[in-house]
């Protein structure tokens, strides 16, 4: 009946409309259409409607930020265009769905999805390189290759990766995958078919040993030389290796690649205890994942509190208490001095310079770096 108040569901059904006054300039409103979460956003006189879950890890975009005509994810800062839904900044690769929003008679209605914007037509011209080589097979290299194709680049595009697997979601290796809640295939950013259909020549297990910037060629470890007109280095970082007696043994694990994760999972499946060296982001993620599998975990770190340098002593103390409530044992103000070959015991050096013998632990040692070092190994040559 005309003039009757509108009763909204929670979240409101946008197909029956919401008051335009409920969406101020720069504001967002969570709703749903046919049970699917959709958010509304206003920029001036324009109203946009998009699916409200980030395509990276599913974060609620209604908790994010509007910046210009883009929407930023609250978790990892992925960036989406309000107009097209396109992922214009990582770590997300896939777009969010756009919906048709209509403002009429003081109400806003959302009733159907919009067709996804097609990739841009091929570009050509004397200024564009005929071939591009990307050194690195991680998320950055993958995102660069995808954006080139989405922007219409149709020249020869080659990705060189030292990893044996297709580009994967490295952050999840220390979370869901290590905890056993994410299947192996879920870590891959793209399938083999994607690279084939987008004409991206992905070469796995190859190592660049030399870059000749004059001849514009990269040389691989097997002697193969690849010409390029443009070169992108996206090698990322690698864990800092332990430099102490026993660190080279097979039961000492590092975590960077999918192969590293496979080896670590294989070790913990036949173990009851693990030692994690490092108490920053990755170290504590590994710790939580191992505890979720029922593994006894000891964390060795030189810090006063976990992540104290990053978050401060108060939050660091909270994180310590949280992990200890789940059974984690911390050995802080302590550095590893040696690792025994029998997988029995480690020797730790405390902050005062003395030594203390650890328990007799039979445990794989997961070395999680507190910082990384840029990957290297190739030599640049001028001619």
pLDDT of residue 353: 38
Q: Which domain holds residue 58?
A: 18-112
Asked whether residue 1 is assigned to any structural domain, the reply reads no
Asked whether residue 117 is assigned to any structural domain, the reply reads no
Q: Where is average pLDDT lowest: 13-17, 99-103, 186-190?
A: 186-190
User: Which of 110-124, 209-223, 264-278, 333-347 has maximum average pLDDT?
Assistant: 209-223
What is the C-alpha separation between 227 and 213, in angstroms, rounded? 10
- The mean pLDDT of 148-162, rounded to a whole number, is 95
Q: What is the pLDDT of residues 264-317, one digit of tens each?
A: 999 989 889 999 999 999 999 999 999 999 999 999 999 999 999 999 999 999
pLDDT at 85 over 80: yes
Helix (H, G, I), strand (E, B) or coil at 101: strand
- Same structural domain, 174 and 209: yes
> Percent of the chain at pLDDT above 90?
70
Asked whether residue 91 is assigned to any structural domain, the reply reads yes
What is the C-alpha separation between 248 and 371, in angstroms, rounded? 19
- The mean pLDDT of 17-36, rounded to a whole number, is 95
Strand partners, 102: 109
- The mean pLDDT of 98-127, rounded to a whole number, is 86
- Same structural domain, 157 and 86: no
Beta-carbon count within 10 A of 47 CB: 19
Q: At 349, is the pLDDT very low, low, confident or very high (cuts 50, 70, 90)?
A: low
b/e per residue 319-337 (b: at least 16 CB within 10 A): bbeebeeeebebbbebebb
- As a whole number of angstroms, the longest Cα–Cα distance in the chain is 82
Contact 45, 37 (CB under 8 A): no
Pick from 236, 271, 297: which residue ends a domain? 236
Mean pLDDT (the chain) is 87
Pick from 112, 146, 179: which residue ends a domain? 112
- Same structural domain, 189 and 143: yes
pLDDT of residue 364: 62
- Same structural domain, 196 and 92: no
CATH number, position 45: 2.102.10.10
Closest CA to 139 of 234, 1, 43, 227: 234
pLDDT of residue 199: 97
- What is the reported pTM? 0.82
- Same structural domain, 230 and 256: no
Per-residue tokens: 356: 């203390």
- Same structural domain, 190 and 259: no
- Same structural domain, 60 and 166: no
b/e per residue 349-367 (b: at least 16 CB within 10 A): beeeeeeeebeebebbbbb
Q: Where is average pLDDT lowest: 2-6, 134-138, 307-311?
A: 2-6
Asked whether residue 277 is assigned to any structural domain, the reply reads yes
- The mean pLDDT of 86-105, rounded to a whole number, is 94
Asked whether residue 309 is assigned to any structural domain, the reply reads yes
Query: Using CB atoms within 10 A of its CB, is residue 193 exposed (0-12), middle (13-18) or buried (19+)?
Result: exposed
pLDDT at 1 over 70: no
Give the DSSP H or E segment for 373.
strand 372-374
> Percent of the chain at pLDDT above 70?
85
- Same structural domain, 264 and 358: yes
Contact 133, 160 (CB under 8 A): yes
Asked whether residue 286 is assigned to any structural domain, the reply reads yes
CATH number, position 265: 3.50.50.60
Q: At 360, is the pLDDT very low, low, confident or very high (cuts 50, 70, 90)?
A: very low
Q: What is the pLDDT of residues 34-73, one digit of tens each?
A: 999 999 999 999 999 999 999 999 999 999 999 999 999 9
Q: How many domains does the chain have?
A: 3
- The mean pLDDT of 347-364, rounded to a whole number, is 47
What is the C-alpha separation between 329 and 347, in angstroms, rounded? 16
Residue with more model confidence, 369 or 65: 65
């Amino acid at each position: 009946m005309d003039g009757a108040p509108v009763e909204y569901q929670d979240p409101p059904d946008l197909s029956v409309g919401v008051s335009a006054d409920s969406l101020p300039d720069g504001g967002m409103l969570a709703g749903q259409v046919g049970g699917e979460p959709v958010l509304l956003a206003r920029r001036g006189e324009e109203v946009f409607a998009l699916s409200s879950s980030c395509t990276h890890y599913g974060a609620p975009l209604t908790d994010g930020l509007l910046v210009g005509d883009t929407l930023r994810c609250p978790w990892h800062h992925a960036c989406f265009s309000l107009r097209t839904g396109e992922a214009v900044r990582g770590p997300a690769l896939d777009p969010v769905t756009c919906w048709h929003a209509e403002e009429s008679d003081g109400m806003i209605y959302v009733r159907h999805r919009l067709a996804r914007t097609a990739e841009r037509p091929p570009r050509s011209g004397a200024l564009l390189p005929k071939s591009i080589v990307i050194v690195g097979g991680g998320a950055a290299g993958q995102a660069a290759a995808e954006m080139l194709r989405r922007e219409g680049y149709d020249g020869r595009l080659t990705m060189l990766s030292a990893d044996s697997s297709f580009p994967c979601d490295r952050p999840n290796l220390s979370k869901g995958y290590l905890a056993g809640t994410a299947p192996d295939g879920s870590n891959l950013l793209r399938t083999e078919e994607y690279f084939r259909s987008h004409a991206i020549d992905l070469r796995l297990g190859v190592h660049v040993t030399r870059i000749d910037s004059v001849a514009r060629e990269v040389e691989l470890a097997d002697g193969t030389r690849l010409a390029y007109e443009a070169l992108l280095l996206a090698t990322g970082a690698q864990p800092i290796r332990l430099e102490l007696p026993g660190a080279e043994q097979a039961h000492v694990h590092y975590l960077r690649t999918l192969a590293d994760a496979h080896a670590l999972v294989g070790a913990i499946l036949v173990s009851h205890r693990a030692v994690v060296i490092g108490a920053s982001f990755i170290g504590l993620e590994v710790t939580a994942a191992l505890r979720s599998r029922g593994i006894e975990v000891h964390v060795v770190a030189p810090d006063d509190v976990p992540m104290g340098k990053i978050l401060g002593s108060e939050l660091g103390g909270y994180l310590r208490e949280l992990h200890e409530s789940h059974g984690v044992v911390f050995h802080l103000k302590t550095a590893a001095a040696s690792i025994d070959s029998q997988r029995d015991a480690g020797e730790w050096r405390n902050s005062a310079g003395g030594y203390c013998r650890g328990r007799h632990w039979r445990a794989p040692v997961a070395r999680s770096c507190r910082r990384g070092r840029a990957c290297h190994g190739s030599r640049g040559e001028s001619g």
